[in-house]
Amino acid sequence: MNSSIFCGGPPPKQSDEIEWEMRPGGMFVQRRDAVGVDDDHGGVGSSRAGPMIKINVSYGSSQHEVYLPAESTFLDAKKLLAHKTGLEPNEQRLFFRGKEKQNEEHLHLGGVKDKSKMLLLEDAASKERKLEEMRKQNEMLKASQAVAGVRVEVDKLSDRVAALEVAVNGGTKVSEKEFLTSTELLMRQLLKLDSIEAEGEAKMQRKAEVRRVQNFVDTLDSLKERNSKPFSKNGSAVSVTTKWEKFGSGMGSLNAPSPMSSSGQASQDFERLD
C-alpha cells in the first residue's frame, strides 16, 4: 500500500492539502476516499466513502490482509486479492459468515467490519481449466521426448544411408538386401512417429521428422535403382555392415577373378574386409 501511517499525534503538515482520518488505536492515515487505492493494488476508486477497514482473508494455507474503504464492493476486494493470490476476480469465490457474496454487494451492507474474516476459494471451472492446461502441457512434453527418441534412431540410420550412397556413387555394386534392410528400419521409425499423439510444437516436430524419414526412404529407392543397373568398372557386389567398415573391391589380386555363375556367388568370393 502507498498510504502513509502515523502513530501517536497528528501527521506533519505538507504544502499540499491532504485529508487524514484517525484509525482505531490512534493512528492517522491518509483518507483513501480522497486519493483512492493505488491502481497497482486493485484500483478501488476515490468515489468510495467511509473509513478504511482491514479484512483478513484465508486462501488455502495462506492468510492475506487487504485494506479498502468500508463501502467498497466485494468485487473491489477481489481486485485487491488478485495481486496477492494470482487469481483473477472471475476466478474467485468470496465467503463471509458461511455465505458466498456477489460482486455487486457492498461490504458494510453485508456486515463486514474492520478485521472481519473471509474465506476465498478458487472457482471450480477455473481450477478445472488450469488442470486441463497442465495436462496438455505434460502431453506435449511427453510427445516431444518421444519424437526426440525417434530422431536419435533416425540419425544413426542416416549414417547407414550415407554409406550406401558413397558405395553406389563410387561404382561399387551393393547387395540388394542392404537397401531392403535399411528401408525396413526407417519404416519402423515412421510407424513410431505415427503412434505419437502430439499437439502444438510437438506436432510440428513430429511432422518434420516424418518428412525427414520419407526423404531417406526416397533416397534409398533411388540408390537401389541405380545399383540394379550394370556397372562399367566391375561386377562385384558388397554388403555394407551395420558398423560401416570398409570393404575391398576384389582388385587386390593381379589375376582376374574366375567367371561366376551369379552375382550372389561373386559376392561371397570377392567380399573382403580391409
Helix or strand holding residue 227 (H, E)? helix 200-228
What pLDDT does 23 receive? 61
Q: Are strands 237-238 and 173-174 parallel, antiparallel or unpaired?
A: parallel
Please tell me the distance from the alpha carbon of residue 180 to that of residue 158, in angstroms, as a whole number: 15
What pLDDT does 49 receive? 56
Please tell me the distance from the alpha carbon of residue 266 to that of residue 260, in angstroms, as a whole number: 6
What pLDDT does 131 receive? 87
- 8 A C-beta contact, residue 252 and residue 272: yes
Single-letter code of the amino acid located at 132 = E
What pLDDT does 262 receive? 38
- For the four alpha carbons of 6, 12, 16 and 22, in that order, the dihedral sign comes to positive
Secondary structure (DSSP) of 42-104: T---TT--S-EEEEEEEETTEEEEEEEETT-BHHHHHHHHHHHH---GGGEEEEETTEEPPTT
What pLDDT does 210 receive? 95
What pLDDT does 254 receive? 32
What pLDDT does 253 receive? 35
What pLDDT does 136 receive? 87
What pLDDT does 20 receive? 58
> Residue ranges of the chain with pLDDT lower than 70?
1-49, 230-274
- For the four alpha carbons of 206, 201, 156 and 192, in that order, the dihedral sign comes to negative
Least Cα distance to 241 among 183, 188, 175, 185 occurs for 175
What pLDDT does 31 receive? 58
- For the four alpha carbons of 84, 87, 88 and 94, in that order, the dihedral sign comes to negative
- For the four alpha carbons of 12, 17, 23 and 29, in that order, the dihedral sign comes to negative
